[in-house]
Amino acid sequence: MLAPTAPSGLRADSGHAAGLRHLLVVPTAVWTLAFFVLPLGLVTVFSFGTENLITFNVSFGWTASNYAAFGSALYLSTLLRSVALSLGTTAACAFLGFPLAFFISSQRPRVQRLLLAGVIVPFWTSFLVRTYSWVNLLQIDGPADRVAHGLTGHHLQILYSPRSIAVGMVYSYLPLMVLPIYVALERISPDLYAAAADLGARPWRQFRRVVFPLARPGLIAGVIIVGVPAMGEYVIPEILGGGKTLMVGNIIVGQYLDVGDYPFGSALAVSLMVILMIMLFALRRVQPAVEAS
Amino acid sequence: MSLRRHPVAGALALVVVGFLWIPILAVAVNSINQSSLMVSWGGATVHWYSLALHDPNVRTGLTTTIEIALGSTLVSLVIAVSGALWWRRAPARARAVYDAMVYARIILPEVVFATALFFLFLKARFPLGILAIIVGHSVWNSAYAAVIIQARLVGLDPAIEEAAADLGATPWRAFRRVTFAALLPAIIAGGLLTFTFSFDDVVTSYFLGGNSATPLPLVLFGMIRFRITPEINAIGVMVMLFTVTLMGVAVAASTLVGSVGRGRRDALAELYGQ
C-alpha cells in the first residue's frame, strides 16, 4: 500500500548488464536478512525456550510456558489496555484527521501548502519534548485544568492515567493519519464535487457517495500506519502514564533490560507481532468487502 | 451547498491544527519561564538556555546524535537507492517480497524490532554502542528512504533513458545525467527525513546504545523521568529551530534541484548537443 508499483513499460534485462544489475539487491537483501529477519526469527525461537535466571543460560525444551504467563491478570490486562489504546487512538486520529485532510485538500494551492506545513512542522520538534509538554498542560493547576475547572467546577484529573496516554498518542500519531488521507483526497477532481452538487446531492450524500469511497485507500493506509506502531508504544506511556499505567511495550522493555528474562520478553514480543498480523489480516478482509457493497 | 466549503469542516480543521501547536507553544513559553514548576508564568529568563548549553551531557549527547544520524542516513541511502534501482526491473514476485520487507520495516512496532536486534547482538557478541545504533536505525530508515525514492522512480519515464542511450550516451553517463539527476530531489528529501528520524529516536538507541553511547534523546529521556526540568524546553526549542532550518533548506534545495532535473529530462536536445 505504501510502496508504489513499478511502471510496466520497462524492458526486461538480458545478458551481462542484467547480471550486474542483480548485484544492486545485495545491500538491501543483506541488511534486511541479517538485521531484521534473523533477529525476529531468533526471538521467535527463543520465546519457546527457558532461561536459568541465575546463569542467564537459555536452553530449548520447546516449552510454551512463557506464553502461559498471559493467564495472569497483570499481563492480560496490560495487553487488553494496549489493544484498547491502539484502537481508540486510531479511531480518534481518523475522526480528527479526516475533516482536516478534507479541509486542506479543498483550499487553494498556496493555503494548502501553509496548512500542510502547520501539520508537519510540529512533527519536526523533538518527540520527547512535545510529549513532556503534555505533562505541563494536563497537570493540576495547569492550563487545561484551569479551563476545565472554570467551565465545570471540577479538576481535570487525567494525568498519569490511560486517558493522558490517549491524549499523547492521538497527538503524536495524528499527522501520520492526515497525510495519507490528504494524498488520496488531493487526487479527486473538483469537477466531481461540482457534478455531485449539480445532480442534487446534499453535502452528507456527497461525502458518503463521492468523497469517502475515493479517500478510503488513504484512510486504510493511515489506520495501518497509526494503529500498528501504536500497539507497541513505549515512550508515551513511560512519560504520561507516570510509570503506573503500562502498555505491553513497557513490559517487553522491562523484561529485557531490567529483569533479564529474555524468553518471556520474547514471548511478549512474538504475541504482539501475532496480534498485529491478525489485525492487518482483518483489515485486508474488510477492504474488498466494503468495495463489493 | 458545496461540501467543499462546509463551515463545520473548516472550524474542526482549525481546532485540530491548534491542538497540534499548543504543546509547542507551551514548550516555547516555558523555555523562558522563570517559574521552574511550569504551572504559572514567573517572568522571563534565559537561564534554562544557558543551563542547557553548558550541560556536558547535552553537549556530548548532541555530538553522538549527529554522528549516528549522519552514519545511518548514509547507510540508508545506499540501501534505498540501490534497492530501488534493482526493484524497478526486478521480476514481479521478487518485487513483492521486497515491497513486503519495506512495509514490514516501517510498521513493525519499534519495541519489537529493537528487542530482537538487541538480542541478536547480545548472542553474536556484537558490541553495543554508536555502531550498533547506526545499524539499527538504518534498518527502518532505509525503508522510509526507499518509499520516497521509489515514488520518484515510478514517475520517471523509461523512454527518456532509452532516448539517452539511443543518442549515444554510455550507460554510466545516461544513469548519471538522467536517472540520478531525476532521483536527486528524492535522495535529498529521503536523506533529510532519515536524518531527523534518527536524530529523534529513543527506543532503538535505548536498546542498542549499551553503556557507551547516550544520544541527545536519551539524555532528555533520563531528565524527564527523574525530575522536573525546564531545561529540556530550552533544548526542545533549539532542536526545533535546527530541524526547521534543515528542512527549509531541504525543501528549497529539492525544489531547485527538481526544476533542474525536470529541465534535463525535457531537454533532450541538451543531451543531443553534448
**What ipTM does the predicted assembly reach?**
0.86
Is residue B73 a part of any domain in this protein? yes
pLDDT at B266 over 50: no
Q: Which residues of B touch A252 (CB under 8 A)?
A: 111-112, 115
Position B171 in a domain: yes
Question: B209 lies in a domain?
Answer: yes
Region A203-219: what's the mean pLDDT? 84
Place of cell 504543546: B23
Is A102 part of a structural domain of the chain?
A: yes
B175 reaches A (C-beta below 8 A): no
Region A77-105 average pLDDT? 92
Residues 6+ apart with CB under 8 A from B99: A3, B87
Residue type, A192: L
pLDDT of residue B126: 95
Task: Copy the grid coordinates of residue B57.
Answer: 551531557
The secondary structure of A216-238, three-state, reads HHHHHHHHHHHHHHHHCCCHHHH
Least confident of A79-93, B30-44, B52-66: B30-44
**pLDDT tens, position by position, B227-245:** 667 888 899 899 888 888 8
Whether residue B224 is contained in a domain is answered as yes
In a domain, B195, yes or no: yes
pLDDT, tens digit, 9 for 90 and up, residues A153-185: 888 778 888 899 999 999 999 999 999 999 888
A-chain residues near B206 (CB < 8 A): 253, 257
**A135 Cα distance to chain centroid:** 22
Residue A158 within any structural domain of the chain: yes
Task: Tell me the residue range of the domain where A260 lies.
Answer: 71-292
Residue B17 counted as domain residue: no
CA B203 to CA B194: how far, in whole Å? 15
Number of domains forming the structure of chain A: 1
- Residue B260's pLDDT band, with cuts at 50, 70 and 90, is very low
Check B203 against A3: CB less than 8 A apart. Answer: no
Lowest mean pLDDT among A68-72, A118-122, B135-139: A68-72
Facing A129 at nearest CB: one of B136, B151, B232: B232
Question: Residue B224: what pLDDT?
Answer: 87
Grid cell, residue A87, equals: 484502537
B67 touches chain A (CB under 8 A): no
Residue A51 lies in a domain: no
Residue A55: inside a domain, yes or no? no
**What does the alpha-carbon distance between residue A124 and residue B197 come to, in Å, rounded to a whole number?**
9
pLDDT at position A293 over 80: no
| Range A63-69 average pLDDT | 74
Please compute the mean of the pLDDT values over residues B45-58 and round it to a whole number.
90
Are A136 and A154 in contact, with CB atoms under 8 Å apart? no
In a domain, A168, yes or no: yes
pLDDT (0 to 100) of residue B81: 95
Q: What is the pLDDT, as a whole number, of residue B271?
A: 31
Smallest Cα distance from B132 to chain A, Å: 10
Closest CA to A256 of A245, A242, A243, A266: A266
Q: What percent of chain B has pLDDT over 90?
A: 43
CB B86 to CB A39 under 8 A? no
Q: What is the CATH number of the domain that holds B144?
A: 1.10.3720.10
Number of residues in chain B: 274
Segment A28-41 mean pLDDT: 96
Residue A49 sits at φ, ψ, to 5 deg, of -95, 180
- Domain interval for residue B109: 46-273
> What total of structural domains would you count in chain B?
1
pLDDT at A214: 86
pLDDT of residue A124: 77
**So what's the pLDDT on residue A16?**
60
Residue A161 distance to chain B (closest CA, Å) = 16
